[in-house]
Structure 1
Amino acid sequence: AHIYNYSFCPNPHWPSYYATASSIHHYLKDTAVKYDCEQYFKYGHKVTSAVWDEEVGETPKWPKIRGMDRFKGQLVHSALWDETVEVAGKNVAIIGIGSSGVQILPELTFSSDPKSLLAHRRALTNERNAGFRASGGGRFPQSATQEACRKSMESRLQVETSEKGRIIAKRLIPKFSVGCRRVTPSKDFLETLLDDRVECVFLDPQSNQAGGSPGTSIKTFTGRGIMLSHSASEEEEEEREFDVVVCATGYEASYIPSFELVGRDGVRLAERWSGCHRDGGTNPECYLGTTVSGFPNYFMFLGPNSPVANGGLVQAIQAQGMYIYKCVRKMQTQGVRCMEVQRSVMDEYNEHAQAYLRGSMWTEGCQSWYKRVGEGGEDRVIGIYPGSAFHFVEMMRHPRWEDYDFGYGYPGMVGSRNGPSIRQNRFVFMGNGFTRREAMGKSIGGTCVETFEEYWDLMELPGIHS
């Protein structure tokens, strides 16, 4: 749970080792209240569009199964969870065994020492970030890690004493590298699968595809539940009755905003990033997971190729927030009307990212939203940053202003006989020659002492450019 802390706001009151969605939400809300941030929020509002003027979101991924509208019970999705749903004493089906299903199944089946807290948080963050190196940075063999995970799963599934556990282990323990798909920790998911009240039905992923081999598949929803098909013959169909069906089938990871976003020359981001996994389409690309060429003044969190599986995620979000703040501050204090990452810079960055990720474990033969097939037919990783989370934080620490094009001046900054005009001189922000401190009449008698402490870590790294 402590991995979800912001560095500036530690929380010693997490109710459990693994943080639940509600406890994370409670922490974020408390943080917003503590720092008086809610005054800047707009509740009950919906962004309909954002269009660049030269002069002046996660969507649930529902399974594609026929007859969903015929089901008379309660149908919910993990992304839009209905807190009013009661499952006690009911027959419940969960479709999906990814990160959402892992967290949902166990739930449905069943301050005083700040120094110590800081040490604990540092240890957890170090362990989380070190995991990226332990996995070979995604590029090197990790046989020891795979073996350790396999033994742990077999032990928790009791394969030596449980026939059910052996069957589940055979179908559930993957052959691909640890991290090829999102790794989701859970203290009791595997144990819950062994519960007598839980039945595992493994579907053949090929059986629902044209020309796929016969196997167990979900044929359709019925008014009372789900119709399973165990072969190509209708004689092998079986109806299962359920009161509640939970679709833990993930999210649409296209990165396309839920609102219309229009940049220069009327270009729509949805059109540039159109397409979905494994159908070709335009690859979603951006710069440092934060901004896109052609869309001035547009910044985002966790865009394409962000460190979502490279270490601590919250520290990466915090680093992006500080980066965006520095950009906005530059615009406010230096008369910058617009800033936009150069297209050549964005292209080079993505060229480097794909060169790093090519041949990594994220291109192995697992189904994952981290990747899609590129125009040349090769896997293109769109969901992973080319480095560790700590590496990302360091990259975001100091914006590379040379990577941006800037437009200067605002309407009305310089008047004329014909009304307000835009003056492009980038030094207009120097104003009347006096600082804000002087204008406010504050003391200017002090001397700024430069300690140069921030420069002591400059060093030459031998062979770094070889």
Structure 2
Amino acid sequence: MPPSALFGDSAIDAARPIRVVVVGAGFSGITTAIRLLQRVPNIKLTIYEAYAGVGGTWFSNKYPGIACDIPSHCYQLSFFQKTDWSSFYAPGHEIQAYLQSAVDAYKLWPYIKLEHRLTNAIYSEETGKWNLTIQYGNAEQFDDTADILITAMGALSRWKWPDIKGLDSFTGKIMHSANWEADKGEGAWEDSWKDKRVGVIGVGSSAIQIVPALQPKVGHLINYVRGKTWVSPTFLGNRAGELGMGKTESNCTSTYVFTDKDKEQYKDPMFYKEFRRDLESDLNSIHVVTLKGNALQEIGKAAFKEDMLQRLSARPLIAERLIPEFSPGCRRLTPGPGYLEALCTDNVEFNSTEIKQILPTGIETVDGKVDELDVIVCATGFDTSYKPRFPIVGRGGVKLADKYTPHAKHYLSVAIDGFPNWFQVMGPNSAVGSGSLLIVIERQVDYIVEATLKLQREHLKSMEVKVEAVEDWDAYIEHHFKQTVFSEKCRSWYKQGGEEGRVVALWPGSCLHAARALEHPRWEDYNYEYLEGHTNRFFWAGNGTTVAEETAGADKAWYLSEVDVPPLS
């Protein structure tokens, strides 16, 4: 190689063009797009979204009662605040509208391709690019390429039917909570279901919201529950008055509804800043209750039990069948406003006997009892293996699905060995058992943006996390969860739907721990290849000049605008 090929011939800060593809336009994908466009120069960006609108899970899930189960003001981006949430637990359509407003505000529409589904992704070792196949609606597939591929598809996006004999034999209406297909038209299903007998299978977050929403609108409802779960008191319930929130109760559901006076008060930036800070600080303070042997864990368990017994006092047999022995938090903990109250109403039946089969006209349990039903709602969860439904193929032909067997091995939830120039937001071990999920998303995005800038700045063909770094992080995860309630015996999507086994969904620590862990990337944990055939690691130093020097009228003392002035004592 001639000496001149060892070094670049452009200014040191001349950003090379870089092509980035983001898959998904939910919270993760939207946040990624905003930060990439803000911080990465000379970028060509495309966001492929499989659905017909933005919002991810908040676009696709439309079941009755859908809402966030943490405070609305804590479930938003740190840099794009909404002060006029309608209630303490925001309904799903309002969260989707918030995400769409972020797309509008940051002018992302030109970059988003709706109803475009990624069906294949193969890394080219020769070019250092990802070769992608995209399906647009029912049209023919087309190809695309990316220097960097970022998947932001979420953990709870691949819903699945329950494994119950006779599922296809039911002649009434059967649906999954994540694919709600009730009668079309505003209020249509409510009108047509008012005399119907409805079975709801499940006791996860979705079922706990669906049951109280359906209860006043159907003739009779049976909730089929195979396991036990904690239903926590409403978050900060007793502090609601202190925080300026009014409370309403209707149809056996209780929630906090913000008044016009509240919303007007939140328009004051200083007041709102402290209000949100107080909420989020409290939310981020309860990680200790997930640690085995912590005194607060036992106190919380006793308090939750007392609360559930009181709310189920009209039907103590349900309390006996529903309240678990395992610690609160082992399964996803949800406040479930109105769920326990709905179980105590005259038109609701709680059935904890195992289902034997689904018949053409209803459900039979293993004790021989048959319930005639008009509608069956399967609130039975998602595929939480994190294995994609389409091939993602890395270096040497290795498939991501194989790397995720028997459980997902990764590096800080954002990278995997064998998959250069590929990053993920909200991948395995990204969720949180307590605290703010959004700060984890934002910090993962910050990390990925920094990696993108490094690839661009240093003219790298590829960066790929080292195998030993993945193995070390995997060992850390294994060590951490042995000390937590998440390792207790309870059926949970945290453990891929099993009662025991590896925790694949949660970050091994608090959300604040995740924020700090992702704050300073360890670039030494990666291997690198260089572009353009050069081998000198200082190729990126270029021709010895900067863009400002080569541009007429540019600020050639820009550093004076970036002075960090230390405070005087």
Q: TM-score, normalised by structure 2?
A: 0.68
Runs of 4+ deviating beyond 6 Å = none
- Could you tell me whether the CA contact under 8 Å between 1:139 and 1:361 is conserved in 2? no
Indicate which of 459, 468, 480 corresponds to 1:335.
459
> Does 2:420 align with 1:300?
no
- Could you tell me whether the CA contact under 8 Å between 2:170 and 2:358 is conserved in 1? yes
Q: Deviations over 1:241-265 (max 9, x none)?
A: 2222110011111011122111111
Please name the residue that 1:219 is paired with: 356
- Could you tell me whether the CA contact under 8 Å between 1:409 and 1:425 is conserved in 2? no
Indicate which of 265, 272, 275 corresponds to 2:403.
272
Q: Deviations over 1:110-131 (max 9, x none)?
A: 4532322222221121111111
Structure 1 position 35, deviation (Å): 0.9
Q: Deviations over 1:49-71 (max 9, x none)?
A: 11110111532121111222221
Indicate which of 288, 298, 307 corresponds to 1:152.
307
SS in 2 for 1:76: strand
SS in 1 for 2:447: helix
Q: Deviations over 1:281-308 (max 9, x none)?
A: x221111111111111111122222242
Q: Give distance in 2, aligned partners of 1:128 and 1:12.
A: 18
* Code of the aligned partner of 2:309: E
Please name the residue that 1:406 is paired with: 528
Structure 1 position 268, deviation (Å): 0.5
Q: Give distance in 2, aligned partners of 1:373 and 1:244.
A: 25
Please name the residue that 1:108 is paired with: 214
Structure 1 position 452, deviation (Å): 6.5
Paired-residue identity, %: 36
* Code of the aligned partner of 1:72: T
Please name the residue that 1:240 is paired with: 371
* Code of the aligned partner of 1:108: L
CA 1:297–1:446: 2 relative to 1, 3 Å: closer
> Does 2:158 align with 1:59?
yes
Q: Give distance in 2, aligned partners of 1:342 and 1:250.
A: 34
Please name the residue that 2:475 is paired with: 351
Indicate which of 385, 394, 401 corresponds to 1:263.
394
Q: Give distance in 1, aligned partners of 2:379 and 2:497.
A: 24
CA 1:378–1:246: 2 relative to 1, 3 Å: closer
CA 1:350–1:139: 2 relative to 1, 3 Å: farther
SS in 2 for 1:305: coil
> Does 2:538 align with 1:427?
yes
* Code of the aligned partner of 1:436: V
What does residue range 19-418 of structure 1 map to in structure 2 within 5 Å?
19-56=90-127, 58-82=157-181, 84=183, 86-87=189-190, 88-89=193-194, 90-110=196-216, 111=263, 112-133=267-288, 135-137=289-291, 140-141=294-295, 142-157=297-312, 159=313, 162=314, 164=315, 166-203=316-353, 217-230=354-367, 237-274=368-405, 282-371=406-495, 379-410=501-532
Please name the residue that 1:413 is paired with: none
* Code of the aligned partner of 1:272: K
CA 1:33–1:238: 2 relative to 1, 3 Å: same
Structure 1 position 97, deviation (Å): 0.7
Structure 1 position 379, deviation (Å): 3.5
Please name the residue that 2:140 is paired with: none
Q: Give distance in 2, aligned partners of 1:71 and 1:148.
A: 42
CA 1:330–1:124: 2 relative to 1, 3 Å: same
- For the aligned residue pairs, the C-alpha RMSD in angstroms reads 2.3
Q: Deviations over 1:320-343 (max 9, x none)?
A: 111111111111222121111111
Structure 1 position 423, deviation (Å): 2.1
Q: Give distance in 2, aligned partners of 1:372 and 1:75.
A: 24
Q: Give distance in 2, aligned partners of 1:153 and 1:452.
A: 55
CA 1:426–1:121: 2 relative to 1, 3 Å: same
CA 1:120–1:83: 2 relative to 1, 3 Å: farther
Q: Give distance in 2, aligned partners of 1:445 and 1:283.
A: 52
SS in 1 for 2:461: strand
* Code of the aligned partner of 2:318: I
CA 1:6–1:189: 2 relative to 1, 3 Å: same
Q: Give distance in 1, aligned partners of 2:103 and 2:203.
A: 33
CA 1:450–1:443: 2 relative to 1, 3 Å: closer
Structure 1 position 399, deviation (Å): 1.1
Please name the residue that 2:253 is paired with: none
- Could you tell me whether the CA contact under 8 Å between 1:6 and 1:314 is conserved in 2? yes
- Could you tell me whether the CA contact under 8 Å between 2:383 and 2:496 is conserved in 1? no
Q: Deviations over 1:432-457 (max 9, x none)?
A: 32222333320213543642669x9x
- Could you tell me whether the CA contact under 8 Å between 2:487 and 2:503 is conserved in 1? yes
Q: Deviations over 1:218-261 (max 9, x none)?
A: 2222222222331xxxxxx3332222211001111101112211
- Could you tell me whether the CA contact under 8 Å between 2:205 and 2:336 is conserved in 1? no
Q: Give distance in 2, aligned partners of 1:453 and 1:76.
A: 61
CA 1:49–1:114: 2 relative to 1, 3 Å: same
Q: Give distance in 2, aligned partners of 1:373 and 1:74.
A: 26
SS in 2 for 1:16: coil
SS in 1 for 2:486: helix
- Could you tell me whether the CA contact under 8 Å between 1:310 and 1:384 is conserved in 2? no
- Could you tell me whether the CA contact under 8 Å between 1:132 and 1:138 is conserved in 2? no
Q: Deviations over 1:27-50 (max 9, x none)?
A: 111111111122222211111111
Q: Give distance in 2, aligned partners of 1:75 and 1:45.
A: 28
Q: TM-score, normalised by structure 1?
A: 0.83
Please name the residue that 2:143 is paired with: none
Q: Give distance in 1, aligned partners of 2:334 and 2:519.
A: 29
Which stretch shifts more, 308-317 or 137-146?
137-146
- Could you tell me whether the CA contact under 8 Å between 1:98 and 1:250 is conserved in 2? yes
* Code of the aligned partner of 2:519: R
Alignment gaps of 5+ in structure 2: 1-71, 128-152, 217-262
SS in 1 for 2:536: coil
- Could you tell me whether the CA contact under 8 Å between 2:290 and 2:484 is conserved in 1? no
Please name the residue that 1:278 is paired with: none
- Could you tell me whether the CA contact under 8 Å between 2:175 and 2:181 is conserved in 1? yes
Point out which structure has higher relative CO (alpha carbons under 8 A, 6+ apart): 2
Q: Give distance in 2, aligned partners of 1:446 and 1:361.
A: 52
Q: Give distance in 2, aligned partners of 1:186 and 1:114.
A: 31
